[in-house]
Structure formats: structure tokens, C-alpha cells
Amino acid sequence: MPVIAPMPAARPARIPNQRDGAEDVTAAGTTVDHLTETYRAHYSSLLRLAALLLDDTASCEDVVQEAFIRVHSARKRVRDRDKTLAYLRQTVVNLSRSALRRRILGLKLLSKPMPDMASAEEGAYDQLERDSLIKAMKGLQRRQREVLVLRYFADMTEAQVAETLGISLGSVKAYGSRGIAALRVAMEAPA
């Protein structure tokens, strides 16, 4: 029976030696030192590139800084050190496009009218009116309260209220008018 010898494994790229701080040239990626040099040499040109795509300085600076952060995070994937600047330029362009998209979306959302909302003061007055109405409703006779709730809050017709409560249409009208009169008196009375 023939003996099969295992194939020798491919030799992996050497990882930097953390003890002596030396880095092997066979390690893939852009070094931090090279990225720092690129930052010093090309920050201004990348800022001008962003300025051509965007209109305010703060956004341009944010885009360029974010581009350097992203390239720093992905520096192991940039195999050729000479392509670091090209990678940075492309990242600046992509981030500028994203910033413009967010701006356009924000403008579309802002162009929609905001719903009319009551101020806090109006809300407080409304709450006071609701509270006084509820208190006044509790002071009505049981049938008056039932007729008013079904008629105005449940939005039923007088005939539906009469059928629901099992009373005549005339009784619904009488209880309703007496209930409204009693509510007026109770709501106008000082608390």
C-alpha cells in the first residue's frame, strides 16, 4: 500500500512582532505610519475634493475625517501602499454622496407641513374643560347621562338611542334637552 505524505502547508505572511515593534515587509496592508504620512500630505487636497462635492466646510471636514477612519479600519485590505490615496479619494466621494442623500431626504421630510399641535397652555385648558365636563356629566341623572353619551359621544341618532335604551323617541328628546340644560348650568357655575 502506498504511503501518502501530507502536502506542506503554505507559509503564512508574517505578523508583526509585538515584542520588538518590528514589522515584516511581507505583512499585507497599509501601515499606520504610511497612513499618517498620507494624512499630512493629502488632507488638504481631500478636503478640497469634498468641498467640490459638498457646500459647507463642516460637512467636508467630517467626510474627510470619516474617510481616514474607514481607511484606517480597513488598512489590512489595501495591499498596495500606492493605492492608499486612491482608496481615500473614493471613500471621500462615497461619503459625500451619502451626505447629500441624507440632506435631500431631510429636505423632503421638512417640506411636509407639520400637524397643527396645541401649545402646552391650550392643552392644559382643554384638560381642565374635559375634567369639568366629566364632573358635570357625573352630576346628571342616570337617563340624561345615558342619552347624552349615546347621542353625542357614540354618535347615534335619536332613534338608535331610543332603541338601545328601550324608551320612546320623545323621552330621548326630553332627556337630551334637560341634560344639555343641566350641563350648561354646571359648566358656567364657578368651581
Read off the pLDDT of residues 87-130 as tens digits, 9 standing for 90 and up.
899 999 999 999 989 888 887 777 666 667 667 788 788 888 88
* Predicted local confidence at residue 12, as pLDDT: 42
Nearest-10 Cα torsion for 27, 32, 33, 36: 150
Is the Cβ–Cβ distance between 83 and 97 less than 8 Å? Answer: no
Q: Is residue 8 pLDDT above 50, yes or no? A: no
Share the mean pLDDT of the chain. Answer: 80
Q: Is residue 10 pLDDT above 50, yes or no? A: no
* Predicted local confidence at residue 118, as pLDDT: 66
Q: How many residues does the chain have?
A: 191
CA dist 171 and 144 (Å) reads: 10
Residue whose C-alpha cell is 320612546: 168
Rounded mean pLDDT of 73-80? Answer: 81
Residue 160 to residues 31, 104, 180, Cα–Cα distance (Å): 82, 53, 19
- Confidence label for 154 from pLDDT (cuts 50, 70 and 90): confident
* Predicted local confidence at residue 18, as pLDDT: 45
* Predicted local confidence at residue 170, as pLDDT: 95
